[in-house]
Amino acid sequence: MNLIFLGPPGAGKGTHAGMLREEIGIPQVSTGDMLRENIREGTELGLKAKRFIDAGELVPDEVVIGMVRERLSQPDCAKGYVLDGFPRTVPQAEALSRFADIDKVVNLVVGEDIILGHLSGRRVCADCRGTFHTRRLRDDKVCPDCGGRLIQREDDKPETIKNRLAVYRRQTEPLISYYRENGLLTDVPLQGELASDHAVLREALGLEA
């Protein structure tokens, strides 16, 4: 099953893709994770991408498309995958269609108030890279897993979130029409409660409860 998750930043694409990875054994292919790994390692790609990510802008197509093509050619993607964070534009979708066969595109429909709550409360451990939310932390500065320092990413700060949502509406929402016209799109409305939202998602994918 080759899937794409669409939805605004903070909709839960990464969370639900990670849960499916554990449940049905197909990899979560996250362009965000791949880019952040390059940023941490200080690669040429990472340094170039960081300027765009910190400003809440999209990384140029040629960088992301090449990275995704290489990732999907790896053996663990042979039986399926969930694309999380790609494509983000119609030109990216058209490029993807030249080297990948997509079975279904899931559009996660989430209210803006839920998105702001998800992202503004997110913290990342500077040491183990674990991701947490302030509402589930006793101390929002200390990692509960390794004791490392928790930080708020630049792209999770309120001013950047608003810019990211504007960028999404301008450049990514046209994908909804593109995939709907191609008969691949399924809308999945979410309410912000993880367990019930994931059950709705599984049902939309035709998976057993």
Active site residue ranges: 13, 88, 122, 153, 164
Q: How far apart are CA 207 and CA 43, in angstroms?
A: 39
Q: Does residue 8 have a cis peptide bond before it, meaning omega lies within 30 degrees of 0?
A: no
Q: Which residues pair with 45 in a beta bridge?
A: none
Cis peptide before 75 (omega within 30 of 0): no
Query: Are 27 and 76 in contact, with CB atoms under 8 Å apart?
Result: yes
- SS3 label, residue 183: coil
* Distance separating alpha carbons of residues 7 and 23, to the nearest angstrom: 21
Number of residues that make up the chain: 209
At 159, which helix (H) or strand (E)? helix 158-167
